[in-house]
Structure 1
């Protein structure tokens, strides 16, 4: 009886060990894929979303922006920031969401300008 119990324990440990090793391999592969995605120029937007914790679409909805124009972003940001000021009865939480949305949109604008500079640099070299 003890022999069978020992065999069951050994087999259970092997199964758990293999599952743990497989999980580690999958996690390593996923982290490598994420690193490759962040290094590609077109994927910088996805990296910015993961860093700021807010997607581009969410930021556009918060600031009520349909297309990325710095003037419209600044105008809507200033209005929503003033409206949600705590001294006039607004919400600090909403005000912070407005700030984060503006930061995310500003990051996207800088990514787009970098991409345009790279494209113009490539075009002038050819």
Structure 2
């Protein structure tokens, strides 16, 4: 009787072990699939929505509370106000201040890229006019 009971315990433990290993393999496979899916989505966000320090242009515009890149003075004013309002000395949040700084940095990068594109197109326009 004890011999049969021991076999039942051994077979039960083997079954549970196999099921556990199968579940772990499925979880690893799902994790790999999710990672490749995430990488595919990340690669799609190239082009106009390039990220700098993990921040999209839309997010930067929202943080600085501006609609578009046309008003540089509004961007600068909102940046200075939010940066000063979140200084640690005045009880502000360093995290939010960092977000404001990164948003301004992202917008500056976008403005720089647009300026470079305009400079590349400028010589071709003057040649066409001649």
- State TM-score, norm by structure 2: 0.59
- Considering fraction of residues, name the structure with more helix: 1
CA deviations on 1:22-51 (whole Å, 9 max, x unpaired) are x9xx9xxx7xxx6xx97xxxx3x444x1x3
What's the counterpart of residue 72 of structure 1? 74
- 1:90 is the counterpart of 2:110: no
Structure (1 or 2) with the larger CA radius of gyration: 2
The number of equivalent residue pairs is 88
Structure 1: which 4+ aligned runs deviate by more than 3 Å?
A: none
Please state how far the C-alpha of 1:120 moved relative to its aligned partner. 1.3
1:93 partner SS = helix
- State TM-score, norm by structure 1: 0.61
- 1:59 is the counterpart of 2:49: no
* Structure 1: gaps of 5 or more residues: 1-22
Cα distance in 1 between the residues matched to 2:61 and 2:91? 24
